[in-house]
Amino acid sequence: MKLWTPVGGKAIAAAFQALAQRLLQRAFRLPLFYKVLIANTLLVAAGAVVGTTLSFRAGHELSGEAYHRWHYIYIFLFAIGGTVLSALIYSVLLRWALRPLEQLQRAAEMLHQGRMDVRVPVHPFSDRQMERLVETFNRMVETIASNNERLHWLSRQILQAQEEERARIARELHDEAAQWLTSLLIRQRLLIRNLPPQMRPEVEELQKMTAAALEHLRRIAMELRPAILDDLGLVEALRWQAEEFQKQTGLPVRLEIHGRIARLSREAELALYRVSQEALTNIARHARATHVEVTLNCTGEYLELIVADDGIGFDPEAVRKSRPRSLGLIGMAERLSLVGGALQIESAPGKGTRIRARVPAGGPQCVPQEVIHAWVAKDPDSDRR
């Protein structure tokens, strides 16, 4: 009767291999505390066994006088070698045990940078506590991504409703209030012809006030929803905006157009126009500037709008922390993000401010060229000199 056959040996080997794999998997599934404890215990035990063995062997191989002469050096060399070897082995074991935590750390850093698509895979060396931590982290990222999508959708709806309301108010001002004032102005002109000379100055003064109110009303309607933006595009709208800004503030404005720029999407043009409008409003209110430059630059992949001034500047971080003062900056950044753009603010106290906004615009819509179109807003007082 044969107790050992090649087939039986293979079966026993396979059984031992399966058992070893199950034990190894269970070892991998141990909590991190027990992994570190077992690794440390095995390392200390191995060091004690190896050190004791080498000590006995050295005592047998060396004579009494030689042993007393060299045993301090022998102990020193053994301590250095054991320490280095223990540190190497222990570092490898710790890195192996802490690898899931490193994955979580890298994922958290990517999440801090704005990567909402980051997810942490379950590491094969993870224990149950680590798996629960990874699952909790992934659910948290999914929740944050979902909330961000909802916030972007809500912001888009709010901005769209705001623009529709602005357009409605602008139409009512232009179609109703402006027409009433225009009719009143015409009747005043007709009335002057039939008045005696001594009464005409008062009516003429009333006529000037009516004309000023009509002009102010038209300017408000244009600021709410500039028809020139829809009809002629961003470049002409920026020219009109620069001219109106100089009329109201007296600050010289230089507008530069770099490249050949065609019509963009309505949302992209409106976002850049509103950024320029908000930046010029902030310059008029806070900058104390003496000169303003507006640049529209086509880079081939992006259309970049730069609004710069030589005013007193500010600390961007301090403004972001101040909620009332940061609403304008938040609004500009949100408008650009909805069209795939980005906002950059460069400023410091006493060094002026540069607002840089860019939106994707490639292909025939934005062609870089060497030709630079420079235009300076006309001084409103130049005709009076």
96-112 pLDDT tens trace: 767 777 888 888 888 87
* pLDDT interval class at 114 (50, 70, 90): confident
* Domain range 234-380, CATH class: alpha beta
Residues of the chain with CATH 3.30.565.10: 234-380
Closest CA to 156 of 322, 301, 340: 340
Planar angle of CA 109, 110, 114, nearest 5 degrees: 115
75: confidence class by pLDDT, cuts 50, 70, 90: low
Query: What is the pLDDT at residue 323?
Result: 59
Beta bridge partners of 307: 294, 355
Q: Over pLDDT 90: what percentage of the chain?
A: 10
